[in-house]
Amino acid sequence: MLSLRIRRKILIACLAGLGLAAGRAVAEETPASTGSADPGKASLTEVNKQLTNPVSSLWSITFQQNNFLLHPGSGRGLRYSGNLILQPVLPVSITNEWNLITRPVLPLFVTQPHPEEGDPWEIDSTTGFGDITLLQLVSPSENLVGNWLLGLGPSWIFPAASSRYTGQGKWQVGPSAIVGYLSDKWIFGALVQNWISYGGSGPADTNSMNLQPIASYFLPDGWSVGYSGNVLANWEGSGRNTWTVPLGLALAKVVKVGPLPVRIALGAQYMLAYPEDYGQRWNLQLTLAPVVPKLIRGNLAQPRQLEFGLPPRRP
Question: Does the structure show a pLDDT above 70 at 35?
Answer: no
Strand-pairing partners, residue 282, are 69, 270
Q: What secondary structure letter does DSSP report for 285? A: E
d(CA 231, CA 213): 8
Domains of the chain by residue range: 4-307
Taking the alpha carbons of 291, 296, 302, 304 in that order, is the dihedral positive or negative?
positive
- Digit-coded pLDDT (tens) for 254-271: 999 988 899 999 999 999
pTM for the whole structure:
0.85
Average pLDDT in the chain: 88
The overall longest dimension of the chain from CA atoms, in Å, is 68
Q: What secondary structure letter does DSSP report for 291? A: B
Calculate mean pLDDT across residues 33-38.
46
Burial class (CB in 10 A: 0-12, 13-18, 19+), 263: buried
CATH superfamily of 4-307: monomeric porin ompg (2.40.160.40)
Calculate mean pLDDT across residues 124-128.
93
Taking the alpha carbons of 262, 220, 24, 295 in that order, is the dihedral positive or negative?
positive
Altogether, the residues listed in the chain come to a count of: 315
